[in-house]
Structure 1
Amino acid sequence: MAFPEHFLWGGATAANQLEGAYLEGGKGLSIADVMTCGGKSRFKVDLPAIKPEYQKFLSKMRYVTFEKDGQDGACIAFKQNTYPDHGTPKIVEGEYYPNHEAIDFYHHYKEDIALMAEMGFKAYRMSIAWSRIYPNGDDDAPNEEGLAFYDRVFDELLKYGIEPIVTLSHYEMPLALSMKYQGFANRKLVDIFYKYCATVFERYAGKVKYWLTFNEINSIIHSSYVNAGVFANDRQLSEYASYHQMLASAKVCQLAHEKYPHFKIGCMISSSIPYAYTCKPEDNLEALKSYDLRVNYYSDTMVRGYLPEYKIKDLERRGIKLPIMEEDRAILEKGTVDFISISYYQTSIAAASDDGLKMAEGNMIRHIANPHLKTSEWGWSIDPVGLRYTLNYLYDRYHKPIMIVENGLGAFDTLNEDKTVHDAYRISYLQEHLSEVKKAIEIDGVDVMGYTSWGCIDLVSCSSGQMSKRYGFVYVDRDDDGNGTLARYPKDSFYWYQHIIETNGEEL
C-alpha cells in the first residue's frame, strides 16, 4: 500500500482563527486580536507605487490597527513595508476584529471534534493560544483556566483516538510581548518562550506526542509582526527575530529530547518551490538562491543545526550582524528537529529579470505568472505536481520524515436551502494533490508521516480575515461581517474525505 498503515490523516487549524472567546478564561490579548477583516476597515492604506491590478487583491488583505502620536491608523498585516515608524498596535473602537469570536470553537469544541471523529480523523493539528497560558507572555505563573481548557480539548480528541499535533506558536504571540519587547527581535523572548513551552510540555506530556515549534517560521519575509511580533519596518530587527526563534526552537527541542524522549518535535516551513522561468543558467541560479534565502535557511538551521554559509554571506552584504552569543552554536547543534512539517499551497517562478514578464497578482503574493497553471479565486497558483516535487526535494536534502500539515483550497462556497454544500472543486483540488503525495511515497520512496488538510472546518482566513474564503469540510454559518448562527453543516467534501481515510487513500 502506498500510504503507511499508521498514516496520520486529519485536518489543521490555528487557535486564533477559530477559538474566539478572545478575553474569556483569563486569556490576554494576542497579536491577532488587533487584525481586521479585509475590505471591512474604515482605514485606507496609501499604496501609490502598487499597480491597480495588484491593489484589488491587497484590498482584501487584513490590517493591523495601531495608534501613533495620538492618532489611530492601520497597515497591511502581511506587507511589512506599510508598517508605521513608532506605532503601537491596539484595538480601535468601531473596527471589526473577526478573531474575537471567530467560529467559537472555545464553546463548540465537543461538537467540532465529534465531526472530526465522524470523518475518521487519525490526527488533528491545532495550536495552543500562548496568551491563554501566559496572558502577558512574561507572567510569573501560568493561567490555570487556559491550561484546563486544553486539557478538555485533548481529552476529547483522545476519547475518539485522534492524535493531537500541537503548534506552540501559530501567529498568536501575547500582544504585550510585541509592545514591551518588539517580540522576538529581543533575545529575552527566547527564555520567555522556553518557559511557556516547559509549562505545556509538563502539563500535557501524557496527552500530546507531536509538537511543532513555530508555524511557517519563514513567513517573516512577508510579515515580521504576524510571524514574530516585530511591529517595525526594519530588516535588521526581522533577521534578529528569525535567529532568536530558531534559537528558541533549538532550546525547546533539547528540553523535549532530554526530559520527554517519547516526544517528536518538528519545524514548520511554508514551502513554495520556485521554478526557473527558462533554461538560462541565470534563471536557474536565481531560483536556487531565492529558495535558499526564503526557505532553506530556516530548515537548514533547524534540521542541520547550524547557520548556512549562503545566509551568512547575504547578511554580510546587507551589513547585518546577528546577535550571536558564544553558547549559541552548541544550542543549535543539540536542538535539531525530529521531522519536517510543511504548508504547501502553490509554487512560483524565478528569473534573473522580470522586466516585461506577466505577473501573477494575488493576495499575499506577486510573482511571475506560470502559464501552465490555473489559479484560485485569491490568485494562488494550483500545482499538485509541485507538491510531489517539494516532497522529493526536502527528503533528498534532509532525509527526515515529512508531515504535510497545511494544504487546501480557499474558495467561495454556497450553502443551499437544504443545508448542503456541493464543493466538487475542493474535492478535485485535494484529490489531485493527494494523488501526487501517493506517488511521492510509492514511486519515489519519500517518508511522509501524515496529511492534515487546512482548515478542516471553515474559519477566519489568516491573510484576509474573511470567512468567505472557506477551506473546510464543514460549513460554518458565519459571514465577513460577523453575522450568522454558527451552525455547522458537512459539505460534500466531508463525505469524500471520510472515504479517503476509511480506505487509507487507496481509492482516491
Structure 2
Amino acid sequence: MRKFPENFWWGAATSGPQSEGRFNKKHANVFDYWYEVEPEEFYDHVGPDTASNFYHSYAEDIQLMKDINLNSVRTSIQWTRLIDDFETATVNPDGVRYYNAIIDEFIKQGITPVMALHHFDLPVELYHKYGGWESKHVVELFAKFAERCFELFGDRVKDWFTFNEPMVIVDGQYLYQFHYPKLIDGKKAVQVAYNLNLASAKAIQAFRKLDLPQKGARIGTVLNLTPSYPASDHEADIEAGRIADLWRNEMFLNVAVFGEFPAALVELLTKDKVIWESTEEELAILKANTIDVLGVNFYHPSRVKAPDISPNSTANWMPDRYYDSYDMPGRRMNVDKGWEIYPEALYDIAINIRDNYKNIDWFVSENGMGVSQEERFLNEEGVIDDDYRIDFITEHLEWLHKGIEEGSNCFGYHLWTPIDCWSWKNAYRNRYGFISNNIHTQIKTIKKSGHWIKEVSKNNGLK
C-alpha cells in the first residue's frame, strides 16, 4: 500500500460556468456571450445554458460526491452571478443565497469547499466597455469582487484561489484564438499577463486586510504547469525549452511565490519592445502579496525544439517565435483529446516546487483524461467501465507519491472533474468525470472510476 500524507485531499474540481447553467444570472460572461453570437463554434451547438444543472441539483450532486468519498471539491464563484453592479460590487440576492447554499451543503456532507474566484468567466460587458483584462480598471473591479466574496463566505470557506489557469486567458483570448474575443496580439497578451498577476495580488491584499489568515484561511492561485522538455540535448533545443518555461510557467509561478517576474523574461520582453506598463506601486503590491498555497493543473507534457524560423524574422511578436512544439516519436496518447500521456512530469513538477519554489504547500488541482463516446464502455449493470481512467490516475498518483516521499509538500489530488461537465468550445465531446451525466435527462451515474476512488480515499493510498 502506497500511503499518502495524513488528511490528504482526495477530491475533484469543477467550475461555476461549467456546471451551474445560466439560470437566474443577470449578466453574461464571455462564454455566455460567445455562444449567443457564434453557437456554431461550440461542439454540437451545445452552450453553457444548462451545463450539468448544478444550480438546481447541487444537493443531489454533492451527495453523489460524498457517495464516492470525496473529502474536498473545488468550484468557483461566478462574478456574473454574484454581482449586480460591477463598479460598486453590489450583490445579487439570489447569487448570495445560491453560493451560501452550496457552501453549506458541502460542509454538511463533510466535504471541504475550495473556492476559486475566476475560471475564464470575465463579465462580457467589462470586455466590451474596458477591454477586459487589458484594463487596470478591471483589475480594481476584480479586487472589489474578491473582497465581497471574502466578506460573504470567508466565515466558512478556508481555502481560496484567485485564478484558475491565468495563462490560458492569455493564450486563448490574445494569441491562439480558442477563447473569445479570439485576438492575435502579442503586445496585448503581455500586458494582460501582467494585469492578471496584479489582479491576483490585489485580491490577496484584500484577503489579508480582512484578517482571514488569522481565522485559519489561506489563499493561492491555480496554475497549469508543465516542464518544457527539449527535443534533444543540443544547445538550441535547450535554449528553446528555457524560454518556453519562462513564458509558460515562470511568468505566473515566480510572481505568485516570490512576488517578482523572472529577470530573464523582463530582459527578453524589454529587448523585443513588448514589455508591459507597470508602476513602482504595483510592483510593490506584487512583492508584498504572494500566495500561501499553490494549485497545479497538469494534463500533458510540453515538448519543444528550436524554432524552424529565426526569431529575428519579420513578423508580429509572438512568444513562440523562440520555440516550436515537438511531437516525440513513440509517445503515448489520449487520441480523443490529442494529448500525450506522460505521468512522470508530475514527479518533475513536485521536485521543481521542492527545490526552486520554497517547497511551498501545493496540491494537484486538476488532472484527468477526456474520452469521447464513453457509452461505448457501458456494462450490463449500466456502469461505465472506465478502466483507462483508473489506469491514468493510478500512474499519476504513483509518480506523485514518489515526489512526496522525496520531500515535496503536496497535500492533495483533485481529478477534473467530479461530474461530467460542459467544457467551453468542446461542450460535452469529451467526458472527464467520476460520475457520468446524461445531458438530455440530467440523470447522473457513478462510473467504475468513482467506485474505485472511493476505496482509494478510504485507504488514503494505492494498493
So what's the TM-score if we normalise by structure 2? 0.89
Contact 1:271 1:344 in 2 (8 A): yes
Look up the match of 1:424: 387
> Hey, what does 1:86 align to over in structure 2?
none
Q: Specify whether residues 179 and 7 from structure 1 end up closer, same or farther in structure 2 by C-alpha distance, changes over 3 A only.
A: same
Q: How does 1:224-303 map to 2 (within 5 A)?
A: 224=173, 232-259=183-210, 260-261=212-213, 262-303=216-257
Distance in 2, Cα, partners of 1:36 & 1:470: 20
Give the Å deviation of 1:395. Answer: 2.3
Note the C-alpha offset of 1:499: 0.5
What is the rounded CA distance, in whole Å, between the counterparts of 1:314 and 1:224 in structure 2? 22
Contact 2:72 2:113 in 1 (8 A): yes
Q: Could you tell me which of 450, 456, 470 is aligned with 2:418? A: 456
Q: Distance in 2 between matches of 1:281 and 1:222?
A: 27
2:371 aligns with 411
* Superimposed CA distance per residue, residues 355-375 of structure 1 (whole angstroms, 9 cap, x where no aligned partner): 9xxxxxxxxxx9311224211
Q: Distance in 2 between matches of 1:195 and 1:135?
A: 13
C-alpha deviations, 1:2-25, integer Å up to 9, x for none?
Answer: 4111111100001111111x141x
For 2:326, the equivalent position in structure 1 comes to 368
Q: Structure 1 residue 231: deviation in Å?
A: 5.8
Aligned residue for 1:157, secondary structure, equals: helix
Kept in 1: contact 2:173–2:179 (CA 8 A):
yes
Matches within 5 A, 1:39-50: 42=40
Q: Is 2:49 aligned against 1:100?
A: yes
Partner of 1:80: none
Could you tell me whether the CA contact under 8 Å between 1:10 and 1:122 is conserved in 2? Answer: yes
Residue from 177, 180, 185 that aligns with 2:129: 180
Query: Structure 1 residue 35: deviation in Å?
Result: 4.1
Aligned partners of 1:418, 1:96: CA distance in 2, in Å? 31
Equivalent pairs counted in the alignment come to 437
Question: Which one-letter code corresponds to 1:306 in the other structure?
Answer: E
The runs of 5 or more residues in structure 1 that have no matched partner are 44-61, 64-94, 356-365, 479-483
The one-letter amino acid of 2:15's match is A
Name the residue aligned to 1:383: 342
Q: Which residue number in structure 2 is paired with residue 197 of structure 1?
A: 146
Is the 1:230–1:241 contact (alpha carbons within 8 Å) kept by the matching residues of 2? Answer: no
User: Which range moves more in the overlay, 246-255 or 147-156?
Assistant: 246-255
Q: What is the deviation of 1:324?
A: 1.0
- Report if the CA contact (8 A) 1:31-1:229 is conserved: yes
Are residue 468 (structure 1) and residue 429 (structure 2) matched?
yes
The one-letter code of the counterpart of 1:311 is L
1:34 aligns to what?
33
1:395 equivalenced with 2:354 (yes/no):
yes
Instruction: Tell me: CA distance 1:410–1:175, structure 2 relative to 1, closer, same or farther (3 Å).
Output: same
Other-structure match for 1:72? none
Are 2:174 and 1:211 equivalent residues in the alignment?
no
Secondary structure at 1:429 match in 2: helix
Q: Match of 1:73?
A: none
By how many angstroms is 1:143 displaced? 0.8
Cα deviation code 1:243-302 (max 9, x no counterpart):
111111112112222321122111211112221111212211211221111111111012
Q: Could you tell me how far apart the structure 2 residues matched to 1:409 and 1:354 are?
A: 31
Change (3 A) 1:227 1:368: closer
Distance in 1, Cα, partners of 2:90 & 2:454: 42
Q: Secondary structure of 1:98's partner? A: coil
**For residues 386 and 126 of structure 1, do their structure 2 counterparts lie closer, same or farther at Cα, with a shift above 3 Å needed?**
same
**What SS does structure 2 have at the residue aligned with 1:336?**
coil
Q: Is the CA contact (8 Å cut-off) linking 2:84 and 2:90 kept in structure 1?
A: no
Deviations 1:24-49 (A, max 9, x none): 1x431111213459xx9547xxxxxx
Deviation at 1:335, TM superposition (A): 0.5
| Cα distance in 1 between the residues matched to 2:368 and 2:89 | 39
Q: CA deviation at 1:429?
A: 0.5
Hey, what does 1:488 align to over in structure 2?
444
Q: 1:154 to 1:42 in 2, by over 3 A?
A: closer
1:339 is the counterpart of 2:297: no
Q: Secondary structure at the match of 2:411?
A: strand
Given candidates 61, 67, 75, the residue that maps to 1:126 is 75
